[in-house]
Amino acid sequence: MRNNKEKKHSTVIITDKYSHETKVFNINQKHIANFRLYKRVLLGLACGLILLLTGLLSFIVREHFQKVKLNTELAALKNDLQDAASKEALKNNKIQQMWNKLNLADSTLQKIEKYLDDRNVAVFSSKGNNNNVGGKYYPADKVNFNLIQQRTNEITNILETLQSVPLGLPHEGNFTSDFGVRGNPMSNSGFEFHPGLDISGNTGEPLYATANGTVVFADVKGGYGKCVIIKHIRGYETLYGHLSKILVRKGDKIQTGTIIGLLGSTGRSTGPHVHYEVILNNEKQNPIEFLSVK
């Protein structure tokens, strides 16, 4: 190294000992003086770069894990949504099933109404809304809980009506004489109108009321012997004749199945049996009509 003509520069000569070639560099002395400063600056830059790279790396790593976490949360959310959707579908399915049952019940209800209507039994019903027997069809998307309540009330009403209309028999036994014109059983000559059904049995066997009602007669009644008459709703009455013993009193409120007396042969009778009548609006009906529900 030697000083150049201009004091501000130093010359650096690099020689190759084999080829004896030289290279000459003129370096501003200011740079040589600042060499330590440059070294520090370079070192500083290097440290800065390392810090920057480290920061960048940690940012990338953090971002990656953040993304993984978000993806996991997103997948869980999707699962939740699918769960909710399937639960909703299940709920809708249950509503549909319930609605199908309601439609079936409604159709059955209207058949019962028609059956009772055919027998002049008035039932408060939905018939005013729709005359098609066989039921209305309610689409499931029009679920109306007031309507369900209405149908439930109607079913309750029908049940009460059914319990108040004579159905079935007061006693199980053979039918020894049907409703209608028959030969005179007492004299074996001529004909008479038999206004009820005779059911044979043994004296002392229980006789059951065939519907809810109020006892309006409980005493001896001519040829009927010991007799009970029960008044039901809608103009119905039932009569039980030839009892050996009466077990109810006039004015008693009784339920279907109540034992009203014991079978016997009192009055105009040829042997132990119950004479059973069903009366609608003061007209004698054939009790056979009330033995089954079509």
**E-assigned strand segments in 1-91:** 2-3, 9-15, 22-28
**Span near Zn ion by CB under 5 A; candidates 16-24, 116-124, 210-218, 274-282:** 274-282
Could you give the CA distance from residue 258 to residue 206 in angstroms, rounded to a whole number? 9
Residue 198 beta carbon to Zn ion: minimum distance, rounded to whole angstroms = 4
Tell me how long the chain is. 294
38: CB partners within 8 A, 6+ apart: 31
Residue 228 beta carbon to Zn ion: minimum distance, rounded to whole angstroms = 14
**Span near Zn ion by CB under 5 A; candidates 75-83, 156-164, 201-209, 271-279:** 271-279
Q: Is the sign of the CA dihedral 76, 81, 85, 91 positive or negative?
A: positive
Binding to Zn ion in span 14-43, by CB under 5 A: none
Residue 184 beta carbon to Zn ion: minimum distance, rounded to whole angstroms = 12
Residue number with CB closer to Zn ion (204 or 223): 223
| Phi-psi label, residue 222: left if phi above 0, alpha if psi -120 to 50, beta otherwise | left
Among 275, 279, 285, 287, the residue binding Zn ion under the rule CB under 5 A is 275
Contact 209, 165 (CB under 8 A): no
Q: Is 239 exposed, middle or buried (0-12, 13-18, 19+ CB in 10 A)?
A: buried
Residue 126 beta carbon to Zn ion: minimum distance, rounded to whole angstroms = 40
Q: Per rule CB under 5 A, is residue 242 in the interface with Zn ion?
A: no
Residue 204 beta carbon to Zn ion: minimum distance, rounded to whole angstroms = 19
Among 106, 113, 154, 198, the residue binding Zn ion under the rule CB under 5 A is 198
Residues in contact with Zn ion by the rule CB under 5 A: 198, 275
